[in-house]
Amino acid sequence: MSTNTRIILICSGKGGVGKTTLTANLGIALARTGVRTAVLDADFGLRNLDLLLGLENRIVYTAQEVLEESCRLDQALVKHKQEPNLALLPAGNPRMLEWLKPDDMQRIVSMLSDQFDYVLIDCPAGVEDGFKNAVSASKEAIVVTNPEVSAVRDADRVIGLLNTNGINPVQLVLNRVRPKMIASQEMLSVDDVTDILALPLLGLVLEDEQVIVSTNRGVPLTLSGINSPAARCYSNIASRLQGEEVPLIDPAKEGSGMRDKFRRLMQTKIF
């Protein structure tokens, strides 16, 4: 097993905060820089990563058949046509809920490590078996959360579990940030969330309608070349993950109309 492969778990605790969207966009963005990237859908009970990548019609086998030796790994890997450095592997299909064990997960990830530089694991929501299996095969983690109390609370619980399992580093992605709401102090700010969770911030992703448009099409934003706010955020995250220093987008500086300027004035700390 290659020791240089970055095996990164993408998890959140709470469901629906944007793990799969991040996995798809980050996977494409990494692959585009030339690194061999595998995305593993560990959420096989409700698998969706294939759909976001536009690969739903090309899945034949899953990791289960590979482990049973009824097919080879390269037969189960679905290579992305537009971005050949990216391959998808579904851990299983929805019929085999009970099948996967931590040991299976470790074996499959170790096989992927021989062929890829990055393995991104799209984790199921919750902190039960699906999460535990995925953790057992990971080295580092990205915790995705939204600036909302329930998502932050669940993220905190997950961070505790990652720490006890020796996952390191653990970094934060704050998704669905709405600058206007932060400016009017009706949404937790980026600093609020990083202070509360005490995690290094890998990046923030702005709320962006283009995310939905791109999922409709099955073409991730980082592949379509659309220069939307979220697309820029995802590319920045990919660069930072590879050690580049990219300044954070400042949500307070998004928007330049009179109203935005007034909001900013109202937000200035005076004491």
Partner 1 sequence: MTLRDILNKLLRRQESSANTARERLQLVLAHDRADLSPDLLDQMRKEILEVVAKYVEIDIEEGAVSLETEDRMTALVANLPIKRLPSGAIKVKEHGESSDN
Ligand X SMILES: Nc1ncnc2c1ncn2[C@@H]1O[C@H](COP(=O)(O)OP(=O)(O)OP(=O)(O)O)[C@@H](O)[C@H]1O
Task: Mark the segment that binds ligand X (CB under 6 A) among 71-79, 87-95, 180-188, 200-208.
Answer: 200-208
CA distance 62 to 162: 26
Long-range CB contacts (< 8 A, 24+ apart) of 238-242? 238/26, 238/29, 238/30, 238/33, 240/202, 240/203, 241/6, 241/8, 241/26, 241/30, 241/202, 242/30, 242/33, 242/35
Residue for token pair 């095969």? 137
Name the binder of 205 from Mg ion, ligand X, partner 1, none, CB < 5-8 A by kind.
ligand X
Closest C-alpha among 187, 188, 158, 186 to residue 172: 158
Length of the chain: 271
Site string for ligand X, 62-101 (x = CB under 6 A): ----------------------------------------
Among 28, 40, 208, 222, binds ligand X (CB under 6 A): 208
Site string for partner 1, 128-167 (x = CB under 8 A): --------------------xx--xx--xx-xx-------
| C-beta of 105 vs 182, nearer to partner 1 | 182
Site string for partner 1, 78-117 (x = CB under 8 A): ----------------------------------------
Among 51, 196, 212, 248, binds partner 1 (CB under 8 A): 196
CA distance 140 to 31: 19
CA 264 to chain centre: 30
CA distance 172 to 115: 27
Assess 235 for contact with Mg ion (CB under 5 A): no
Grouping H, G, I as helix, E, B as strand and the rest as coil, residue 14 is coil
Name the binder of 158 from Mg ion, partner 1, ligand X, none, CB < 5-8 A by kind.
none
Site string for Mg ion, 16-45 (x = CB under 5 A): ---xx-------------------------
